[in-house]
């Protein structure tokens, strides 16, 4: 009984879903402060260079793999080369780790949308966030250890986010994933345009924009600025760890994958710029003439401390709060669904299980881990550590291994280029192959070495080494072992591997 792979209804659906994945927390809270801290207007140069030399080429690389070999990462890599399956499972592992904490941020944003109506934080946004809301006990930092004591107002919303997510995943590519993005993305865009328009009318908006965009040219000679640019592009485009491979595997056989890729890449960057303008206009209002350094130093601080303070002081507070946190929650949800679809689709491909069963087993276990670890009093510590390791070391090493092996060991770049060019409006050729095979391994290798060195020597944010060893290094090592283990298991004879040929 030949079963066909699920597919998107068409090009528009694919683009909307892929943009829904790309546009997320990275655009709204990460890009603005990273830009501010790394040279302001001058940062746009490394950013564009990173977009053109790494972001778009890897985006096309991911698309090429998913589209040509028509499978979730383990299946697509297995078809690319019989020995390559473990690469795919490692990417699945990274997605699993990211989903665990990303879901929590979506849940917080949803709760803060609600809190905005009454400005529950009063005039102490920081105290409210850490104390009253998260009930945060700084487990690990002061040697007090990690605790999983459940915090109801954090844990229950997190459970609800997981239920919505698993229901959408179980409904499938068209009825679940596509539908959420088709509704979510336009709503998000509308809310965000309103938010930016509103922020620009606030007093001090111009000062905020000046602080953001005034170029500091000396930043261009600082290597860490370039590292930040590449890191931002990777995270923001969701490339290198299976998401775009999975989505592209649901393209119909004759699709313009390369053209869609460029649309997705440029839409994501446009949204990022728009977000930076909105966020800094509002920060200018908050600072009221004072320097912005303190309010703009981290993503979490920006979203859950600086913004609530702005909201409390601005005219039409509740509206501003709903627009900001509502956008954050929606943008996060459409990204989260793409992360978990990688896990679900991979399990489904390998085992031949039905979609609901794969969702229940793979999604259910991610949900349990997420609620247990992040829904408790030490959630913030675990979130911070898992994020720092999976997002930098994890993503970069997964991408490095993939581009290097596919080019130099498995030698499949020609096949990938042919696949893209068959129906693609944008033709890839020697420049693309050189970027993937030569430039990227060098850049990624360099980034990885610096990051590993830094974490080995300096630890991270002062957390206890056993905390880093468990939730950072340990989690990554576990994913590596699982990846190899999974790749050694036999493919079920009724699985996608046997049912359909690319
Ligand atoms: N690309 C998303 C963003 O910019 C984040 C993301 C990260 C999405 C990891 C999926 C996976 O926020
Ligand atoms: Na993004």
Measured CA distances, 159 to 104, 152, 280, 462 (Å): 9, 10, 33, 30
Determine whether the shortest distance from the Cβ of 338 to ligand 1 is under 6 A. yes
For residues 37 and 295, the answer to whether their CB atoms sit within 8 Å is no
**CA atoms of 444 and 424, how far apart (whole Å):** 27
Q: 378 vs 80, 241, 460, CA distance in Å? A: 42, 27, 16
C-alpha 267 – ligand 2 centre gap (Å) = 9
Q: What is the pLDDT of residue 33?
A: 83
Taking alpha carbons only, the member of 335, 356, 6 closest to residue 180 is 335
Contacts of 112 (CB under 8 A, 6+ apart): 304, 308, 321, 325, 328
Q: Is the CB of 20 under 6 A from ligand 1?
A: no
Tell me if 243 CB under 6 Å of ligand 1.
yes
| 250 neighbors 8 (Cβ within 8 angstroms) | yes
CA of 12 relative to ligand 1 center, distance in Å: 20
> Would you say the CB of residue 390 lies under 6 angstroms from ligand 1?
no
Q: Whose CA is nearest to atom 8 of ligand 1?
A: 335
Output DSSP code: residue 38. Answer: T
Which uninterrupted H or E stretch holds 191?
helix 179-201
Angle, vertex CA 185, rays to CA 184 and CA 188, nearest 5: 85
Helix axes 440-458, 223-237, angle to 10 degrees: 110
- Computed on alpha carbons and rounded to an integer, the radius of gyration of the chain in Å comes to 22
Give me the DSSP letters along 38-88. Answer: TTGGGGHHHHHHHIIIIIHHHHHHHHHHHHHH-SSHHHHHHHH-TT-HHHH
Residue 328 tokens read as 């954050």
Cα-to-centroid distance, 22 and ligand 1 (Å): 6
Q: Are 158 and 148 in contact (CB under 8 A)?
A: no
The yes/no answer to whether this complex scores an ipTM above 0.95 is yes
Atom of ligand 1 nearest to the CA of 27: 4
Identify the CA nearest to 327 among candidates 153, 178, 109: 109
pTM here?
0.95
Distance 49 CA to ligand 2 centre (A): 16
261 CA → ligand 2 middle, Å: 14
Residue bearing the CA closest to ligand 1, atom 9: 238
Structure letter (DSSP) for residue 6: P
Q: Which atom of ligand 1 is nearest to the CA of 331?
A: 12
**DSSP secondary structure, 335-351, as one string:** HHHHHHHHHHHHHHHHH
**Ligand 1 proximity of 236 Cβ (cutoff 6 Å):** yes
How far is it, in rounded angstroms, from Cα 186 to Cα 50?
28
Distance CA 180, CA 236 (A): 20
What are the structure tokens assigned to 455, written together? 């974490």
Ligand 1 midpoint to CA 143 (Å): 32
| Residue of 406, 268, 277, 395 lying closest to 331 (CA atoms) | 268
As given in the structure block, the two tokens for residue 239 are: 């490339």
Burial label, 10 (beta-carbon count in 10 A; 0-12, 13-18, 19+): exposed
The β-bridge partners of 376 are 150
pLDDT at 282: 92
Within 459-495, residue ranges assigned H as helices are: 465-467, 475-488
Q: Which atom of ligand 1 is nearest to the CA of 272?
A: 4
Integer Cα distance of 289 and 261 in angstroms: 41
Q: Is the CB of 347 under 6 A from ligand 1?
A: no
What is the 26 CA–ligand 1 centroid distance (Å)? 6
Q: Probe ligand 1: pick from 19, 335, 394, 396, max atoms within 8 Å of CB? A: 335
110 Cβ below 6 A of ligand 1: no
Tokens 């030490």 correspond to what residue? 378
Contact indicator for 381, 366 with CB cutoff of 8 Å: no
Cβ contact 396:234 at 8 Å: yes
DSSP state of 84: -
Six-digit token string for 18: 């892929």
| pLDDT for position 324 | 95
**pLDDT tens for the 502 residues of the chain, in order:** 446 789 999 999 999 999 999 999 999 988 988 898 899 899 999 999 999 999 999 999 999 999 999 999 999 999 999 999 999 999 999 999 999 999 999 999 999 999 999 999 998 998 999 999 999 877 655 556 788 889 999 999 999 999 999 999 999 999 999 999 999 999 999 999 999 999 999 999 999 999 898 999 999 998 888 888 988 898 899 888 899 999 999 999 899 999 999 999 999 999 999 999 999 999 999 888 777 766 666 778 889 998 999 999 999 999 999 999 999 999 999 999 999 999 999 999 999 999 999 999 999 999 999 999 999 999 999 999 999 899 889 988 999 999 999 999 999 999 999 999 999 999 999 999 999 999 999 999 998 999 999 999 999 988 889 999 999 999 999 999 999 999 999 998 888 887 766 5
Distance 122 CA to ligand 2 centre (A): 31
Q: Where are the alpha helices (DSSP H) in 83-178?
A: 85-116, 125-127, 152-172
Question: Sign of the CA dihedral 148, 151, 154, 157?
Answer: positive
Q: Which residues pair with 150 in a beta bridge?
A: 376
What long-range pairs does 460-468 form, CB within 8 A, spacing at least 24?
Answer: 460/385, 460/388, 461/141, 461/384, 461/388, 462/141, 463/140, 463/141, 463/381, 463/384, 463/385, 464/140, 464/141, 464/143, 466/140, 467/139, 467/140, 467/146, 467/381, 467/385, 468/385, 468/389
């Amino acid at each position: 009984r030949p079963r066909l792979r699920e597919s998107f209804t068409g090009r528009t659906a694919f683009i909307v879903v892929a943009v829904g994945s790309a546009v997320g927390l990275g655009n709204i809270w990460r890009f603005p402060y990273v830009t501010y801290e790394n040279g302001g207007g001058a940062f746009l140069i490394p950013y564009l260079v990173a977009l053109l030399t790494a972001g778009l080429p890897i985006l096309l690389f991911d698309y090429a793999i998913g589209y040509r070999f028509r499978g979730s990462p383990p299946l697509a890599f297995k078809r690319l080369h019989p020995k390559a399956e473990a690469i795919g499972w490692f990417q699945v592992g990274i997605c699993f780790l990211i989903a665990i904490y990303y879901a929590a941020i979506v849940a917080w944003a949803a709760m803060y949308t609600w809190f905005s109506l009454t400005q529950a934080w009063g005039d102490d946004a920081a105290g409210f966030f850490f104390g009253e809301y998260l009930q945060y006990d700084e487990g690990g930092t002061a040697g007090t250890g990690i605790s999983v004591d459940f915090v109801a107002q954090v844990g229950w919303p997190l459970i609800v986010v997981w239920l919505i997510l698993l229901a959408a995943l179980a409904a499938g590519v068209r009825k679940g994933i596509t539908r959420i993005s088709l509704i979510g993305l336009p709503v998000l865009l509308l809310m965000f345009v309103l938010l930016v328009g509103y922020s620009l009318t606030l007093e001090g908006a111009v000062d905020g924009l000046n602080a953001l965009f005034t170029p500091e040219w000396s930043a261009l000679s600082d290597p860490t600025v370039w590292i930040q640019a590449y890191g931002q592009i990777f995270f923001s485009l969701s490339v290198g760890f299976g998401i775009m491979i999975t989505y592209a595997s649901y393209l119909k056989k004759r699709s313009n994958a390369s053209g869609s890729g460029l649309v997705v890449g440029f839409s994501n960057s446009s949204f990022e710029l728009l977000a930076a303008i909105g966020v800094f206009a509002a920060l200018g209002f908050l600072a009221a003439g004072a320097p912005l350094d303190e309010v703009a130093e981290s993503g979490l601080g920006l979203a859950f401390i600086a913004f609530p303070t702005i909201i409390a002081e601005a005219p039409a507070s509740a509206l501003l709060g709903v627009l900001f946190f509502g956008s954050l929650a929606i943008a996060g949800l459409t990204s989260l669904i793409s992360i978990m679809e990688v896990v679900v689709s991979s399990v489904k491909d390998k085992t031949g299980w039905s979609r609901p069963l794969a969702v229940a087993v793979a999604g259910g276990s991610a949900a349990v881990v997420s609620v247990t670890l992040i829904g408790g009093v030490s959630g913030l510590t675990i979130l911070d550590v898992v994020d720092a390791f999976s997002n930098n070391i994890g993503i970069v090493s997964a991408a490095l291994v993939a581009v290097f092996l596919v080019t130099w060991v498995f030698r499949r770049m020609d096949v990938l280029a042919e696949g893209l060019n068959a129906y693609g409006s944008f033709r890839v050729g020697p420049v693309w192959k050189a970027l993937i095979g030569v430039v990227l391994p060098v850049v990624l290798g360099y980034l990885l070495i610096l990051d590993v060195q830094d974490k080995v020597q300096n630890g991270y944010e002062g957390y206890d080494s056993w905390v880093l060893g468990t939730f950072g290094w340990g989690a990554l090592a576990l994913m590596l072992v699982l990846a190899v283990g999974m790749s050694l298991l036999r493919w079920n004879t009724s699985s996608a591997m046997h049912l359909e040929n690319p």
